[in-house]
Structure 1
Amino acid sequence: MKMLKPHRPRLERRVVGSTNRWRLPREPFSGDLLALSQMCKAVSIDFDEVLKNPDRLCVSQIQKYFPGNMKKKAIQSGEADVILECLGFTWELHQPQLFQSDTLAKLYVMALARDSANPEKELQKLLRAQLPRKTKEQHPAKKMIISLKINDPLVTKAAFATALKNLYMHEVTLSADDVLGVLAAAHVLQFRSLFQRCVTMMMNGLTPSTIKNFYVAGCKYKEELLTTACERWMEMNLVPLMGTQIHLRKIPQELLHKVLRSPRLFTFSEFHLLKTLLLWVYLQLNNKTQTIPTYETVLAFFRSFPEKCSFLDRDVGQNLMQLFLCLRLHGITKGKDLEELRRINFFPESWLLRATAYHYHALESGGDMAHVNNLSTQAVRFGLLFTQEYTTHSKMIAIYGFFFEIKGIKHGTTSYSFHMQRIRHTDLEFPSLVCEHGPISLRAERLVTYEIRAQTPVGGKWQEFRTNQITQKFGLGKPSCKSHALKIQTVGIPIYASFSFIFSLS
């Protein structure tokens, strides 16, 4: 009688794709890219995502066993079948709900693979335990214990509990105070829908008190939509809002630098922007100050440094040099303001000499800005903040002896226009005050290159309107004294209107 050698048990093979390639079921990725690609197609998963995270394939393979209505159903009663150990507490969860979180799903699959030789069969048993039975006798499912360690200090017990609650209820109310912690918890749990809900809420809730934390969170979790929203909000509100709030101290230098370089930055004037930046430096160096100081207090602080060296040339000022290089000192033309800058000894002497020489040559040539040719990066900027109570809002500006009125008019519920107009010095309300601090030009015409821009928030997004770059000769009589108008239709308020211009060579 011939003795047959016993056959070694063969590993189960799995057919994948039309080419009948196979792989072992317990190996998520063994280097066979073609088989992996075919398997991804079979379970509708992105191939590149699986290459970065092979565990994602395992999670998705388990998820396919869930009936669609069961994953969406919120369990109101019944014994939990998963126990989560986290933050020193135990949390009882139901199996279908935890698969909304990629992190919990991965931990669950790993626990199945660790405790069972056939995790898919074990999962089917657990699923059957969830379904209603015709007989009265039901066998309780085995509870699975999973553990999650969280190192993010933003994730508190309350925030984590709120995130878990959202696994069961999609309309859980979130407060502005809680949203940052819930966002962090959603990121740890890889709970995508909750994370995006938090991002949207933060984008719509930007204020002087929240801007810093929301921006830092956007950078930390690499959420570009949130960081971009913070940057856009700061571009509009750095001078008119943050410049009057103690919260200016918290603005990170990196964010401030980005905003200062933006062509969309809103400011009432170049001098207003400088005052805001000086205030930010003061608050960095006087961190015990709890109220916003007066401008005279800020000036007195910088004057207190020894005169032998400017502030920016000192060690403490070297790291701030890039911020102040973003300023357009040539846009500060009032003699009084320029003299003030010299007295506080803040800027290097070479900077002040360059600005003074620039103004001298411009005045000598009748106001022509020979060294300025880029409207988006070098033009002199002025702005109007048009709020709800205005039907008409205007401001007088003077530069190199020429006087202009910038003006906004509300024509209807949603209709506005913005323009600028040259004014005779004899038509000014207080001509003596103007003559005291600046020159007067009697030139009949002045060539100006300008652009008018308006921006306003609508539904969590920014609407932007602008004219083309226009070059026009401004005379003293009508109609040559008036610029082209920027006409807009919007429900947004307030409207940030910016006027950028260069006095071109005649």
Structure 2
Amino acid sequence: MAQRKNVSVFVTPRNSLDLLPLTRLVPEAPALDTKSAHLYLLSAPFAVLGGLSPREKEVAKVVPLHQRYFRRQAGLTNRWQFSFSPSCDLLGIAQANKAVRVGLNETLMRIMSVDAPVSLNTERKTWKEISDLRAESKGLLVQYPTTKPKLRNRLFSQQGPPHERLFSYTQKVTEGLEPDVTLECLGFQWDLHRMYLFKSQVLANLLASAVLDHGMHYTDNRTVKETRCYKRRLLAGRDNKKLSERKQKIPKVTLVLDIDNPDVTRFAFAAALKNLYNSQMEVNEEDVLEILATASELQFPSLFQKCAQVMRSSISPANVCSYYSAGCKYKQPSLISDCERWIEVNLVIQLGSQIHLRKLPLELLQKMLRSSRLFTFSEFHLWKITLCWVFLQQNPKIQIIPSYDTVRTYFSSLPKICSFLEKEIGQRYIAIFQSLRLHGITSSKHLEELWQINFLPLPWLTRILSYHYYALEYGGDMAFQRDFNTQAVRFGLVLTQEPRYHAEIISIYGFFFEIKAMRHEASAYSFYMQRVKHTDPIISFFTAECSPVSLKKEREVQYEIKAQCQIDGKWEEFTTGRLTQKFGVKKPSCKSKVLKMYVPPVPIYVTFSLLFPSSLA
């Protein structure tokens, strides 16, 4: 192991603004290649952080260091320049520091290169040497990797262990009052004050049992009254001799609490005990799940409700799945409904484009796909997201959300004996794809992809194509789709503060419609759709060339325009209801009913649902 040597610095007197020592720079020295090259590669980040380059790690004798230099400020831009060439890479130091913080996961431990011909997973001794070097350079406790998953614990390297931090906080709150309760839990002894333990039913019961064991029976009404007065006077901060004398007579008790919940960490336990002393509950969003589990174990109702409130107001793609699981575990229907409502709106927009999609439970995904309030830009978007979800379930070690081309290539490369859903590993996903409205995928390009990917069973593809053939043959009639709530084809728009106008052209069975969303004033919005002729210049050449064209002058359509937005943390929904109208190619019959709403300038998610009823009926 390389050692660092303190060297005195000789500096001429200068202005304090011009002097700032660079402690990381040391001169290079010739290396002695006594170990394999891969050890140098793996130890490079830690050696750089320790002030030594990888080649200086195995120096037999410490080379005398030269006088260190100082950097000077260059102008008023607060930039620094050197009059010499530094002996180490400053950018490399930053990257090494980042590498130390991130660590090595299972994928990186299996990587073998020219510099590291032996995988790290099979070289435990090398990893131990590197960890020892990291401990020497960082001064922190190093835990060697094991096959068993470890609980997430927060380090207190700078602020001290959690029980010591809690003791400092309680001393400030109680103005130095001597603790009279010792709680043994999670390997620590927590010094507490009994008058604050009554917010937790578990701690209150433990305290009552301990008091009875010490022969302190407070069943007498007078004693209970004196105890309440004692607590009231302590809270009021009054100082008198009788109070201090009575306090000295109360013996200190020790409580033992066993918690087997793996979600309860020492930091979360300290945060829960801290809230025993607070009139207003304080919960950090980063540790809300652990604090919620601790509040449940301690039966701390006010803290539990505060955690649930923080979770409902901080739902995001990174935590929505874990929040939903916590709501189901602790039976919180309001938290469950808020998570489901968030997924209904943001499944396509946010969650579908992030790796957190993998954590979405199968039952929840199926429920969301069947929801009538689910927002999507088209039915094909839901197909892509569902296919990506299956890909992530089959490849749990993927750390980056793949592109659709990657997912399509993966399933296309599987053996062509049968489709994926007909295989044993794919049968558990059949119910999810049955929840999709695959008949709403009408583009010839998208249908060709469904055929080539070899994912859906052949009878499914045949049925979808037969639906399209029948609809084109009979002027757009969707005779096999009669339930509007579960079979209408959906198209969506998102209207933000800028731009104020959004319009798109959609095509279905030879009929073209323009869906529009506009913001007129600061809080006035309108949404509608209108039929467009196939010869209208607003239709692009590509759309007109690749889409069938219907020459019918009128087409009966069942439609619904629905707008959703979040106002003051609550989701609001505005809708025209289900309407039936014959759309022509000229005004006024070409325009639908206009949905108007007056809401603050927030993102609005608009869904247009269409269904062509059978004209034969």
TM superposition score category, shorter chain reference: 0.7 to 0.9
| Aligned pairs (5 A) from 1:71-470 | 75-116=174-215, 118-121=217-220, 126-127=227-228, 129-130=230-231, 131=233, 135=241, 138-139=245-246, 140=248, 141-171=250-280, 173-470=282-579
Structure 1 residue 432: deviation in Å?
A: 3.3
SS state of the match for residue 219, structure 2?
helix
CA contact (8 A) 1:448 1:501 kept: yes
Deviates most, 214-223 or 133-142 = 133-142
Q: 2: CA distance between counterparts of 1:497 and 1:435?
A: 25
- 2:109 alignment partner in structure 1: none
Q: 1: CA distance between counterparts of 2:212 and 2:560?
A: 65
Q: 1: CA distance between counterparts of 2:239 and 2:365?
A: 63
CA contact (8 A) 1:457 1:492 kept: no
Structure 1 residue 414: deviation in Å?
A: 1.5
Q: 1: CA distance between counterparts of 2:488 and 2:316?
A: 29
CA contact (8 A) 1:456 1:492 kept: no
CA contact (8 A) 1:415 1:487 kept: yes
SS state of the match for residue 426, structure 1?
coil
Q: 2: CA distance between counterparts of 1:428 and 1:103?
A: 73
Q: What per-residue deviation string (whole Å, max 9, x for no partner) do you get for residues 473-503 of structure 1?
A: 1111111111111111222621111111111
Deviates most, 455-464 or 77-86 = 77-86
Quote the RMSD (CA, aligned, Å).
Answer: 1.9
Instruction: Give the partner amino acid of 2:322.
Output: N
Structure 1 residue 438: deviation in Å?
A: 2.0
Structure 1 residue 78: deviation in Å?
A: 2.0
Q: 2: CA distance between counterparts of 1:134 and 1:432?
A: 91
Structure 1 residue 170: deviation in Å?
A: 3.6
- 1:45 alignment partner in structure 2: none
Distance 1:473 1:119, change over 3 A: same
Deviates most, 120-129 or 478-487 = 120-129
Q: What per-residue deviation string (whole Å, max 9, x for no partner) do you get for residues 104-153 of structure 1?
A: 12222333344437342475565455445754561311223222211122
Higher relative contact order (CA 8 A, sep 6+): 1
CA contact (8 A) 2:505 2:539 kept: no
Distance 1:430 1:483, change over 3 A: closer
Mark the runs of 5 or more structure 1 residues left unpaired by the alignment: 1-73
CA contact (8 A) 2:182 2:255 kept: yes
Q: 2: CA distance between counterparts of 1:477 and 1:249?
A: 48
SS state of the match for residue 331, structure 2?
coil
Instruction: Give the partner amino acid of 1:302.
Output: F
SS state of the match for residue 236, structure 1?
helix
Structure 1 residue 397: deviation in Å?
A: 0.4
Instruction: Give the partner amino acid of 2:277.
Output: Y
Instruction: Give the partner amino acid of 1:459.
Output: D
Deviates most, 106-115 or 345-354 = 106-115
Distance 1:133 1:247, change over 3 A: closer
Q: What per-residue deviation string (whole Å, max 9, x for no partner) do you get for residues 169-227 of structure 1?
A: 24465332121211111111111111111111111111111112211111111111111
Matched length: 433
CA contact (8 A) 2:477 2:614 kept: yes
Structure 1 residue 431: deviation in Å?
A: 4.6
Q: 1: CA distance between counterparts of 2:198 and 2:548?
A: 73
Q: 1: CA distance between counterparts of 2:302 and 2:287?
A: 17
SS state of the match for residue 301, structure 1?
helix
Distance 1:257 1:492, change over 3 A: farther
SS state of the match for residue 178, structure 1?
helix
Instruction: Give the partner amino acid of 1:337.
Output: H
CA contact (8 A) 2:281 2:303 kept: no
SS state of the match for residue 609, structure 2?
strand
TM-score w.r.t. the length of structure 1 is: 0.82
Mark the runs of 5 or more structure 2 residues left unpaired by the alignment: 1-172
Distance 1:490 1:76, change over 3 A: farther
Q: 2: CA distance between counterparts of 1:433 and 1:237?
A: 30
Structure 1 residue 93: deviation in Å?
A: 2.3
Q: 1: CA distance between counterparts of 2:547 and 2:584?
A: 20
Structure 1 residue 452: deviation in Å?
A: 0.9
Structure 1 residue 368: deviation in Å?
A: 1.1
Structure 1 residue 456: deviation in Å?
A: 1.0
Q: 2: CA distance between counterparts of 1:93 and 1:366?
A: 78
Structure 1 residue 459: deviation in Å?
A: 2.0
Q: What per-residue deviation string (whole Å, max 9, x for no partner) do you get for residues 366-387 of structure 1?
A: 0011112222111001111112
CA contact (8 A) 1:165 1:172 kept: no
Q: Does 1:503 align with 2:612?
A: yes
Structure 1 residue 437: deviation in Å?
A: 2.0
Instruction: Give the partner amino acid of 2:252.
Output: K
Q: What per-residue deviation string (whole Å, max 9, x for no partner) do you get for residues 50-95 of structure 1?
A: xxxxxxxxxxxxxxxxxxxxxxxx7444223332221111222223
Q: 1: CA distance between counterparts of 2:225 and 2:262?
A: 37
Q: 2: CA distance between counterparts of 1:435 and 1:497?
A: 25
Q: 2: CA distance between counterparts of 1:491 and 1:77?
A: 51
CA contact (8 A) 2:558 2:610 kept: yes
Distance 1:133 1:172, change over 3 A: closer
Instruction: Give the partner amino acid of 2:334.
Output: L
Q: 2: CA distance between counterparts of 1:439 and 1:155?
A: 60
Q: What per-residue deviation string (whole Å, max 9, x for no partner) do you get for residues 216-257 of structure 1?
A: 111111111111111111111111112211221222212212
CA contact (8 A) 2:375 2:492 kept: yes
SS state of the match for residue 388, structure 1?
coil
TM-score w.r.t. the length of structure 2 is: 0.67
Q: 2: CA distance between counterparts of 1:152 and 1:260?
A: 33
CA contact (8 A) 2:522 2:601 kept: no
SS state of the match for residue 84, structure 1?
strand
Deviates most, 114-123 or 213-222 = 114-123
Structure 1 residue 430: deviation in Å?
A: 4.6
